[in-house]
Structure 1
Amino acid sequence: MNLLMCPVCREALKLTERTWRCENNHSYDVAKQGYVNLHVVQHKHSKNPGDTPESVQARRAFLSAGHYAPLQQTVVALIQKLRVENLLDIGCGEGYYTNAMQAEVLQCVGVDIAKNAVQVAAKLNKEVTWVVGTGATLPVLDHSIDLCTSLFSPIPQEEILRVLKPEGHLMVVTPAPEHLYAMRAALFEEVKLHEPHKFVEQLANDFELESEQVVQAKMSLSQQDLKNLIAMTPYAYKVKAERREALEKNEQFELQAQYQIYLFKKK
């Protein structure tokens, strides 16, 4: 079934050979890496939005080493239980989670605003429909999606409501209060605990919370893993250089990951 929507006229897109085309003849070619760019010029705020190539490579290296595997496995188990036909992963990045989710559904769409991240993701799994696009206009048809997932990504509420089927689900993964606390304490003078519950309040009018859980995982990071972790987080450009350098001198660093998972149902 076709899920993709033309970002210009909002009609359904159909894939013929290597081109997605709508009935108004807007067309979008599949790139040689295997993704389609539906992020049209009028929606762009910068030339290369999203993650930098450095942060994409750091994330790929860090996640490939398996440090966030407990989260990936928990997410996959939840999707298995839901038994959905299709899902849209919003902010899929370089595809670590999307790649694992794809095995549990008939159709999987991964969307991210960062073209360099989607290029990396597209090499990972040819079964996923990889799309460069924006949360401001999710590139899928109205009421076509069983499950939207947002893992450490924005939650474009109105757009999620538009694309979800009635009774569709939204899974949100966000840092739990103590996530990476030791690293943040080393990088910043003052550390505020994360406040995952704000998302529940933000979504309360349109979604009911079906389940929530916290996944904890101890990590013992080598120096290179630690550098990759810092580089893939937003802390990389907020922190003072000398604090970052001091932390990166550690040859081994003990750290606790703590993830909050929420499963919502559309009201």
Structure 2
Amino acid sequence: MNLLMCPVCREQLKLTERTWRCDNQHSYDVAKQGYVNLHVVQHKHSKQPGDTPESVQARRTFLTAGHYAPLQQAVVSKIRQLRIENLLDIGCGEGYYTNAMQAEVMQCVGVDIAKNAVQVAAKLNKLVTWVVGTGAVLPVRDETIDLCTSLFSPIPQAEILRVLKPQAHLLVVTPAAQHLYAMREALFEEVQPHEPEKFVSQLSAEFNLVDEQLIQAPLHLNQEDLKALIAMTPYAYKAKPEKRLALEQQAQFEVNAAFQIYVFQKR
């Protein structure tokens, strides 16, 4: 099944050789790295939306070291239990989680607004359909998806409802209350716990919560991995430069990562 939708006219896209084309003859070439750019100019609000190249590279460095492997494994386990065919990962970034998800499904689409992130992701796994696109208009056909995943990414609820099949699922991963608390204490004067449960109330009108799990991972970081962790988070530009510099000078740092996984079912 071709899952992709033309972002201009919303017709089905079909792949012929290395070009995606709809019946209205809008066409999108597959880039040499193996992704397709469906983020059309009329949907753009900035020249380079999404994560910066520095953030993408920091995330690749940190995740490749295996620090968030417990989360990756837990997400893969949830997907395996659901026994689904078509998966859409919204905000796939540089592909660490999407790459692992692909083995559990028949078709996997990874979408991110940051072209530089998708360029990196596309080198990981040729079996994933990698797409530059926006959550505001997901370039995916109506009611074709068994599971949408959003890991630390926005949740475009109306678009998710559109692309999900009836009774299909949404998996959300968000920071748990104490996620990276010690690091945030080092970077900011005041630190508030994260509030993951807000997503449950936000989605309650259209989704039932069917599963939840807290994943905790104690991190013992050397200086290089600590710098990468800071650089891949929004804290990199939110913290005062002197606070960030002081933390980056630590040779070793211990902090707990904590992730909240929610699985919802479309009503």
Q: State the TM-score, normalized to the length of structure 1.
A: 1.00
- Number of the residue aligned with 1:3: 3
Q: How many residues align?
A: 267
- Number of the residue aligned with 2:234: 234
Runs of 4+ with >4 A deviation: none
The amino acid that maps onto 2:114 is A
- Number of the residue aligned with 2:217: 217
The amino acid that maps onto 1:191 is V
- Number of the residue aligned with 1:161: 161
Matches within 5 A, 1:19-30: 19-30=19-30
For 1:219, what is the secondary structure of its paired residue?
Answer: strand
| 1:19-69 deviations in Å (ceiling 9; x for gaps) | 000000000000000000000000000001000000000000000000000
Aligned residues with identical type, % of pairs: 79
Deviation of the 1:6 alpha carbon: 0.1
Aligned partners of 1:43 and 1:20: how far apart in 2?
19
Deviation of the 1:77 alpha carbon: 0.4
Deviation of the 1:210 alpha carbon: 0.1
- Number of the residue aligned with 1:252: 252
Aligned partners of 2:192 and 2:246: how far apart in 1?
21
Q: CA RMSD in A?
A: 0.3
The amino acid that maps onto 1:19 is T
Aligned partners of 1:239 and 1:215: how far apart in 2?
26
Deviation of the 1:223 alpha carbon: 0.3
Aligned partners of 2:101 and 2:205: how far apart in 1?
28
Aligned partners of 1:260 and 1:61: how far apart in 2?
23
Deviation of the 1:149 alpha carbon: 0.1
Aligned partners of 1:203 and 1:182: how far apart in 2?
30
Aligned partners of 2:223 and 2:194: how far apart in 1?
25
| 1:83-130 deviations in Å (ceiling 9; x for gaps) | 000100000000000000000000000000000000000000000000
For 1:103, what is the secondary structure of its paired residue?
Answer: helix
- Number of the residue aligned with 1:95: 95
The amino acid that maps onto 1:235 is Y
The amino acid that maps onto 2:25 is N
Aligned partners of 1:85 and 1:238: how far apart in 2?
40
What are structure 1's unaligned runs of at least 5 residues?
Answer: none
Aligned partners of 2:255 and 2:188: how far apart in 1?
16
- Number of the residue aligned with 1:172: 172
